Amino acid sequence: MATHRLPPSTVVQMLRDNGITKVKLFDAEASTMSALAGTNIQVMVAIPNDQLASMGSADRARQWVRHNVTRYIFDGGVNISYVAVGNEPFLTSYNGSFINTTFPALRNIQNALNDAGFGDQIKATVPLNADVYGSPVDNPVPSAGRFRSDILYQMTQIVQFLNQNRAPFTVNIYPFLSLYANEHFPFDYTFFDGASNPVIDNGIQYTNVFDANFDTLVSSLRALGYGDMPIIVGEVGWPTDGDRNANINNALRFYRGLLPRLASNRGTPLRPGYIEVYLFGFIDEDAKSIQPGNFERHWGIFRYDGQPKFPMDLSGQQLDRYLIGAQNVSYLPRRWCMLRPDARDLSRLGQNINFACTFSDCTPLGYGSSCSGLDTNGNASYAFNMYFQAQNQNDMSCNFQGLAVVTDQNISQGSCNFTIQIAASDSSELQVVSNLLFFSFVLLIFIQFHYS
């Protein structure tokens, strides 16, 4: 979700400019699909979790496929290759909300694709979080991997059905989250340049958590009798703000390790060779839920305005060059909102900061984040400005009970950037975005390497 989004046509041009050939969406929004038409970019469309129950009806599933898939399949249309049924529906934090609705939805969507004559061309899959499997505490090695006991029946159903339809298992693997969830997790183990204490498993050395996690899944599939099932890594990445470990230096280190490994087709110890991997994500989302953590709004390899954050070589050849950013981006005027220098009564400052941060993105102010070094006045100005920008610089949005004033002087401080938002492309888009009615154009980039 984003308060201001780039036009889908601009984002699609960014994909083409950077040679990206596959994308994974979180829905099948019409303007996004129209922008992808005729590009030959392979697309994974998605059904949100809140629609899984309705997909338990075969008729509703057929309607969804007609409206979101088959109507785009024509000469010059959208090259759809997968339908993602839900997104991490078995997360433990969901408390079983989607356990009984995911498999019926998967079955009905794939059957609808088969009945429409596209079953060989388009596969349904369920992007699952890596928390659906694990190793026992007393034997924490990849070869001991098994699916969670509380969802073993459902996972067996899903795996058998995927195998029956020659569809891949899709998993999201986040080394960053291993670090975030456990302050004692070995820091170097989340990267790819070696760990001082590798995990030894039957003579195999695991020097990074990505390989260990992936092979734990391989072992879990083997335990069900499907050790050769194709696996897609549906999401992997590293955020750049919102946590003490979420920064550009760590993101650079992560990607400089991951991308050359993918380019070499090295694979993992239990699954050597090519692995299909999608990077998460494409563009930052300043209105995304931060329930998992403040970093959730900062996964993009591009900033909110489509400009690259850091050098990144998608070919894996370690050439430090910036990706091609969005072209001809229109910004709001160079105006900022700040705490009045002559403000005297600050008794209501705290409540006004809280108001501003409730309706805009203040995650960079958190501990260890890019703006955590600001003083109280700086925090107030940052919060006021983010709200001002989110409200399209409406003069009434820079008041805060007389505590704020508009300035044309850039009030950014050091590494803390005080944002100027992008301009909405038209009034109708502005209305839609301001009400947050649908997902922003967030993509997961598929990394594909070609060799002679």
Task: Show Cβ contacts of residue 263 under 8 Å, excluding neighbours closer than 6 positions.
Answer: 315, 316, 317, 449
- Report CA 418 to chain centroid distance, whole Å: 24
- Catalytic residue, candidates 88, 276, 285, 296: 88
Q: Is residue 51 packed enough to be buried (19+ CB in 10 Å), middle (13-18) or exposed (0-12)?
A: middle
* Alpha carbon distance 388, 424 (integer Å): 15
Q: Count CB atoms within 10 A of the CB of residue 276.
A: 16
Spatial contact of 299 and 26, defined as CB atoms under 8 Å apart: no
**Residue 285 designated active-site:** no
Distances in Å between the Cα of 425 and the Cα atoms of 95, 145, 329, 437 are: 40, 49, 10, 16
Spatial contact of 442 and 14, defined as CB atoms under 8 Å apart: no
Q: Is the dihedral of CA 159, 163, 164, 165 positive or negative?
A: positive
**Residue 235 designated active-site:** yes
Residue among 230, 252, 244 nearest 313 (CA):
252
3-state secondary structure 253-281: HHHHHHHHHHHCCCECCCCECCCEEEEEC
Lookup: tokens for 425:
């492309």
- Catalytic residue, candidates 183, 235, 285, 296: 235
Strands 123-125 and 79-85: parallel
- Annotated catalytic residues are 88, 235
